């Protein structure tokens, strides 16, 4: 009856947002790892193949779209479900993300932590 | 001795005359009856009218002495002979009136004979004046039209026109004058004389003369109407009369060349005879004057067009359907740097930017099908290798297989458009970026408060609230920096100048950051030259520059680093520098260091929360105070920022 704990990789450079998300998702029972920039996100995604990657776009060293494109180009990582979590609402970035295949695109400031957590839970629910 | 037979014959003639008399007298044709000895027997009233003689003056005399010009004596004798030999004869000829003038006539000689024996002759004269005049008019008209059609300027046509007109009216000399508007004089453009006329001196004088309004041919200019001089040698006002007399010239007439009622030139003719004004001639050439004036107008219009073509600031050209320019105006050379020969010697497509060639070929094909072109743009290569944007309007002429085209240089407009687009894009990027930068700390505040709300644990709650407060501080700093930048950019920031001791400001900033310096175990070395004067500066802005540079040095230098601050003067300027042993800045990043929102890649690795506004503000403030700032750096070794400021802000250094 018990399901294996779902793993989430959270790539977020802002330490306040990172702390808030990490705390909330852990409280909800997820296995949460964090990456503070694009390079780290890429390395950790390759290593652990998370059940979900929550990916910020504007990050040091490597931006989120580049991380996404690299993951999609590698057969081992191209299946990782990715949700973009950004505060940028530029159409061009949405389009690029969509063309690389993402589950969803969320604007952080429009979500409460609870809503964020609910959406993640819904995504990671086993299919009936 | 008259025989009875002769009497009988004379009776017969008289009867005949009686029978015909009424018919002859009432006849509109001029009729003359001569007897066998060629003496006038009778003339009818029409004859009297035509020649000006009364019948009584002529009867009994040989007619030739009265009406045959000397030059036509032989012809007249031949005609008479033919009549007396019993043959009718006809001739288009001339006879002389009583007043000496010549009249064109058609003369029919009809023999008057009885039983094969000539007893006299009829002469029937038809007045041909009008017909001849019309013929000459037509001939002259035709010759003039032909001359004009084959000439591109009035100068080229002049000799032909003069000759055609002079020959038509049988005058010996002609001259053409053109109004020179600049000098306001009539200038002779050509002179013609019939073969055999010696008018050398008159020609020279005519060609060398210039006449003002109202004098000589200038009278025709003034009157705007034809003029006639019966005898120029007897006319005191005719200045060339002595040379005219030497050439044997007497009567003269002249007429104006008229264009829209304005005199553009005068034509004058001279003849060796003394002649009374002939209204028919004057009338006949009024029309010709109009024609010549219009021709001058057309050639002037042509010249104006030529001038327009040459002087236009736009690029005007004609191209053939083979893809070559056949004519280009001077603007092409001015704009692109090629000579006309260079432009005409290769297909024009060779000058077109390779990216625009396909489109150019498409419009050229469409032009050759007859479609006009407008608002097409392409790039042309200049001789120096640069390109200019040209906007085209063109019309094809299928009958000539030519394209007439005008191009306008739109390079500057294009550049402006491009700059506008870039500015708009920058604005959009700015709005997106600021939106992102503002949302991030807002999300931080919101989420931290949410977590704090969710936990009962007091210490945990306090920790979340502390993070929320820090996010709020970041938001405030960002907003303040944006506002400062905006005020400095727009020049709306008012300076508040006061005497400022820069060492004092530096020490105050260092006191604020002392904790950070201590935490990272940096060594701080501040030295100022003695006698650094107090400068007139804005204390708060100076503080911000020093704070931004100092906190960067602290932040981007790994623990246990060394920071040196130097304060002094350079010439008449204040000098301030800060050197750190930090991570340094790559050469590429150094170029963009002072741009708005720019952050070097290695800066991100140290601090992800920078706004990209700190150094931008530093530069704006130093600029505002009239100073200059520069940076020297080696990656991994350290960075030196130094700036100079005038002792009084805003003064030239």
What is the interface pTM, i.e. ipTM, of the complex?
Answer: 0.92
Residues B299 and B183 in one domain: yes
Q: Is the pLDDT of residue B282 over 70?
A: yes
Containing B483, the helix (H) or strand (E) segment is helix B458-490
Q: Is B608 part of the contact surface with chain A (CB cutoff 8 Å)?
A: yes
Strands B315-320 and B402-409: antiparallel
- The shortest C-alpha distance from A89 to chain B (Å) reads 7
Mean pLDDT, all residues of chain A: 90
H or E element, residue B374: strand B373-381
Give residue-wise pLDDT tens across range B161-219: 899 888 877 889 999 999 998 889 999 999 999 988 889 999 999 999 999 988 888 88
The pLDDT score that the predictor gives to residue B474 is: 87
pLDDT of residue A128: 46
> Does B651 map to a domain?
no
Q: How far is CA B350 from CA B293, B354, B355, in A?
A: 46, 8, 12
CB contacts < 8 Å between A and B, how many?
73
Partner B contacted by A21 (CB < 8 A): yes
- Answer for the pair B95, B51: CB distance below 8 angstroms, yes or no: yes
CB contact under 8 A, A13 and B608: yes
Give the distance, in angstroms, between the CA of residue B233 and the centroid of all CA atoms in the same chain: 50
Choose among B586, B568, B587: nearest CA to B577.
Answer: B568
Phi and psi at B592, nearest 5°, equal -110, 10
CB contact under 8 A, A108 and B443: yes
Of the pLDDT bands very low, low, confident and very high (cuts 50, 70, 90), residue B391 is: very high
Q: Which residue has the tokens 């060639």?
A: B357
Say yes or no for a CB contact (<8 Å) between A14 and B608: yes
Q: Same domain, yes or no, for B214 and B267?
A: yes
Q: Is the pLDDT of residue B628 over 50?
A: yes
pLDDT tens digit sequence for B526-557 = 999 988 888 999 999 999 999 999 999 999 99
Number of domains in chain B: 5
Q: What is the rounded distance in angstroms from the CA atom of residue B513 to the CA atom of residue B551?
A: 7
B354, B379, B409: which is the final residue of a domain? B409
What confidence category does residue B609 fall into, taking pLDDT thresholds of 50, 70 and 90? low
CB contact, 8 Å: A43 with chain B? no
What's chain A's length in residues?
Answer: 128
Answer yes or no: do B27 and B56 share one domain: yes
* Mean predicted confidence (pLDDT) in B363-382: 93
Across the interface, whether the CB atoms of A87 and B446 are under 8 A apart is answered no
**Whole-angstrom distance, CA of residue B642 vs CA of residue B624:** 16
B44 in the same domain as B96? yes
Question: Which chain A residues touch B604 with a CB distance below 8 Å?
Answer: 13, 37, 60-61
Q: Which of B468, B490, B512 is the last residue of a domain?
A: B490
Cβ–Cβ contact B601 with A under 8 A:
yes
Strand, helix or coil for residue B370: coil
Q: How confident is the model at residue B635 (pLDDT cuts 50, 70, 90)?
A: very high
Confidence at residue B167, expressed as pLDDT on a 0 to 100 scale: 83
Nearest residue, CB atoms, B439 vs list A19, A60, A108: A108
B443 to A17: CB separation less than 8 angstroms, yes or no:
yes
Residue B636 falls inside a structural domain: yes
CA dist B436 and B434 (Å) reads: 5
Contact with chain A for residue B455, Cβ under 8 A: no
- The answer to whether B534 touches B494, Cβ cutoff 8 Å, is no
For B222-277, the pLDDT digits (tens) are: 999 888 999 999 988 888 999 999 999 999 999 999 998 899 999 999 999 888 88
In a domain, B263, yes or no: yes
Q: Work out the average pLDDT over B5-17.
A: 68
- Is the pLDDT assigned to residue B422 strictly greater than 90? no
* Integer angstrom CA distances of residue B157 from B53, B144, B259, B268: 45, 8, 17, 15
Residue B551 shares a structural domain with residue B441: no
The residue to which tokens 């991030």 are assigned: B440
* Residue B608 pLDDT level (bands cut at 50, 70, 90): low
Q: What pLDDT sits at residue A1?
A: 44
Select the residue of B436, B454, B471 nearest A16 (Cβ to Cβ): B471
Summarize pLDDT for B316-369 with one digit per residue, the tens: 999 999 999 999 999 999 999 999 999 999 999 999 999 999 999 999 999 999
Beta bridge partners of B566: B527, B577
The CA angle B175-B178-B183, to the nearest 5 degrees, is: 130
**Residues A51 and A33: beta-carbon distance below 8 Å:** no
Percent of chain B with pLDDT over 90: 50
Nearest C-alpha in B relative to A16: B444
- The fold of A7-124 is Rossmann fold (3.40.50)
Give bridge partners of residue B233 from the DSSP assignment: none
Whether the pLDDT of residue A79 is over 50: the answer is yes
Tell me what the mean pLDDT of segment B93-111 comes to. 89
Count CB-CB contacts under 10 A for residue B183. Answer: 10
Give the span between the Cα atoms of B268 and B216, in whole angstroms.
10
- Examine the pLDDT at B68 and tell me if it is beyond 70: yes
Express each pLDDT in B496-526 by its tens digit: 899 999 999 999 999 999 999 999 999 999 9
Q: Are β-strands B402-409 and B325-328 bridged in parallel, bridged antiparallel, or unpaired?
A: unpaired
The answer to whether the Cβ–Cβ distance between A87 and B440 falls below 8 Å is: yes
- B461 to chain A nearest CA, in Å? 12
B234, B333: one domain: no
The answer on B440 and B396 residing in a single domain is no
Q: Name the domain boundary from B490, B525, B543.
A: B490
With an 8 Å Cβ cutoff, is A28 touching chain B?
A: no
Q: Does B440 touch chain A (CB under 8 A)?
A: yes
The range of the structural domain enclosing residue B386 comes to 312-409
Segment B569-596, tens digit of pLDDT: 998 899 999 999 999 999 988 988 888 8
- Within a domain: residue B158? yes
Can you give the pLDDT at residue B360? 95
Residue of B333, B337, B349 lying closest to B403 (CA atoms): B349
Name the pairing type of β-strands B497-500 and B535-538.
Answer: antiparallel
**pLDDT classification of B389: cutoffs 50, 70, 90:** very high
**How does residue B115 score in pLDDT terms, banded at 50, 70 and 90?**
low
Q: Looking at the structure, do residues B218 and B142 belong to the same domain, yes or no? A: yes
Chain A CB contacts of B444 below 8 Å: 14, 16-17, 20
Query: Is the sign of the CA dihedral B402, B405, B411, B417 positive or negative?
Result: negative
Alpha-carbon distances of B449 from A112, B386, B529, rounded to whole Å: 10, 61, 51
Between the CA of residue B72 and those of B40, B83, B85, B183, what are the distances in Å?
19, 17, 20, 50
Please check whether residues B299 and B345 belong to one and the same domain: no
Q: Are residues B541 and B618 in the same domain?
A: yes
Give the CATH number of the domain where residue B403 resides. Answer: 3.30.450.20
Q: Per-residue pLDDT tens for A23-69? A: 999 999 999 999 998 999 999 999 999 999 999 998 877 889 999 99
Please indicate, yes or no, whether residues B525 and B610 belong to a single structural domain of this protein. yes
In a domain, B388, yes or no: yes
Is B442 an interface residue toward A (CB < 8 Å)?
A: yes
- Per cent of chain B over pLDDT 70 is 96
Asked if B138 and B265 sit in the same domain, the reply is: yes
**pLDDT above 90: percentage of residues in chain A:** 69
Phi-psi label, residue B349: left if phi above 0, alpha if psi -120 to 50, beta otherwise = alpha
Q: Report yes or no: B233 and B250 within 8 Å, Cβ to Cβ.
A: yes
Between CA B502 and CA B504, with CA B503 as vertex, the angle to 5 degrees is: 90
| Model confidence, pTM | 0.50
HSE (side-chain half, CA atoms, 13 Å) at B92: 4
B504 sits in the region (left: phi over 0; alpha: psi -120 to 50; else beta) called alpha
């Amino acid at each position: 009856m018990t399901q294996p704990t779902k793993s989430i990789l959270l790539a977020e450079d802002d330490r306040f947002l990172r702390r808030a998300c990490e705390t909330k998702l852990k409280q909800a029972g997820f296995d949460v790892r964090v990456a503070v920039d694009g390079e780290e996100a890429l390395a950790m995604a390759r290593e652990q193949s998370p059940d979900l990657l929550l990916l910020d776009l504007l990050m040091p060293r490597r931006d989120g779209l580049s991380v996404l494109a690299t993951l999609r180009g590698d057969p081992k990582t191209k299946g990782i479900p990715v949700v973009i979590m950004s505060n940028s609402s530029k159409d061009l970035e949405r389009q690029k993300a969509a063309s690389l295949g993402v589950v969803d695109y969320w604007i952080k400031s429009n979500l409460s932590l609870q809503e964020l957590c609910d959406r993640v839970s819904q995504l990671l629910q086993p299919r009936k | 001795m008259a025989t009875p037979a002769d009497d009988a014959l004379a009776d017969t003639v008289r009867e005949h005359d009686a029978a015909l008399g009424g018919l002859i007298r009432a006849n509109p044709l001029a009729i003359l009856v001569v007897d066998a000895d060629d003496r006038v027997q009778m003339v009818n009233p029409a004859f009297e009218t035509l020649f000006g003689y009364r019948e009584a003056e002529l009867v009994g005399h040989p007619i030739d002495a009265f009406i045959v010009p000397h030059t036509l004596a032989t012809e007249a004798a031949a005609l008479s002979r033919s009549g007396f030999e019993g043959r009718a004869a006809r001739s288009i000829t001339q006879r002389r009136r009583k007043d000496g003038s010549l009249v064109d006539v058609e003369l029919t000689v009809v023999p008057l004979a009885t039983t094969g024996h000539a007893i006299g002759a009829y002469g029937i004269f038809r007045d041909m004046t009008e017909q001849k005049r019309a013929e000459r008019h037509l001939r002259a008209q035709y010759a003039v039209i032909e001359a004009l059609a084959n000439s591109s300027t009035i100068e080229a046509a002049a000799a032909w026109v003069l000759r055609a007109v002079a020959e038509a009216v049988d005058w010996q000399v002609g001259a053409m004058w053109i109004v020179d508007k600049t000098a306001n004089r009539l200038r002779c453009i050509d002179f013609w004389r019939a073969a055999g006329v010696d008018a050398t001196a008159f020609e020279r004088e005519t060609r060398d003369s210039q006449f003002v309004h109202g004098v000589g041919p200038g009278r025709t200019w003034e009157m705007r109407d034809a003029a006639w001089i019966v005898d120029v040698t007897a006319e005191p006002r005719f200045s060339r009369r002595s040379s005219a007399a030497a050439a044997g010239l007497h009567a003269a007439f002249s007429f104006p060349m008229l264009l829209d009622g304005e005199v553009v030139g005068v034509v004058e003719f001279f003849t060796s005879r003394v002649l009374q004004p002939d209204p028919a001639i004057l009338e006949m050439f009024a029309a010709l004057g109009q024609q010549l004036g219009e021709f001058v107008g057309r050639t002037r219009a042509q010249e104006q067009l030529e001038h327009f073509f040459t002087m236009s600031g736009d690029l005007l050209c004609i191209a053939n359907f083979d893809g070559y320019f056949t004519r280009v105006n001077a603007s092409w050379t001015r704009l692109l740097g090629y000579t006309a020969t260079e432009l005409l010697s290769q297909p024009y497509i060779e000058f077109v930017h390779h990216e625009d060639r396909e489109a150019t070929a498409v419009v050229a094909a469409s032009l050759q099908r007859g479609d006009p072109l407008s608002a097409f743009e392409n790039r042309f290569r200049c001789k120096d290798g640069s390109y200019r944007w040209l906007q085209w309007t063109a019309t094809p002429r299928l009958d000539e297989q030519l394209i007439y085209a005008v191009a306008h240089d739109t390079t500057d407009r294009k550049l402006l458009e491009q700059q506008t687009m870039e500015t708009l894009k920058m604005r959009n990027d700015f709005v997106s970026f600021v939106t992102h930068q503002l949302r991030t700390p807002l999300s931080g505040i919101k989420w931290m408060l949410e977590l704090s709300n969710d936990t009962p644990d007091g210490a945990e709650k306090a920790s979340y609230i502390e993070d929320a407060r820090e996010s709020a501080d970041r938001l405030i700093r960002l907003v303040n920096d944006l506002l400062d930048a905006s005020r400095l950019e727009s020049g709306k920031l008012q300076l508040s100048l006061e005497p400022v001791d820069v060492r004092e400001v530096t020490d105050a900033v260092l006191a604020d950051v002392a904790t950070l310096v201590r935490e990272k175990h940096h060594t701080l070395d501040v030295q100022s030259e003695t006698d650094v004067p107090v400068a007139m500066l804005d204390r708060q802005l100076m503080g911000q520059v020093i704070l931004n540079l100092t906190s960067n040095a602290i932040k981007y230098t790994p623990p246990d680093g060394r920071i040196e601050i130097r304060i002094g003067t350079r010439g008449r300027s204040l000098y301030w520098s800060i050197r750190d042993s930090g991570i340094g800045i790559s050469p590429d990043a150094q170029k963009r260091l002072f741009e708005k929102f720019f952050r070097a890649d290695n800066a991100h690795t140290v601090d992800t929360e920078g706004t990209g506004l700190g150094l931008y503000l530093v530069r704006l403030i130093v600029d505002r105070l009239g100073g200059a700032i520069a940076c020297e750096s080696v990656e991994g070794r350290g960075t030196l920022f130094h700036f100079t400021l005038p002792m009084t802000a805003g003064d030239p250094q």
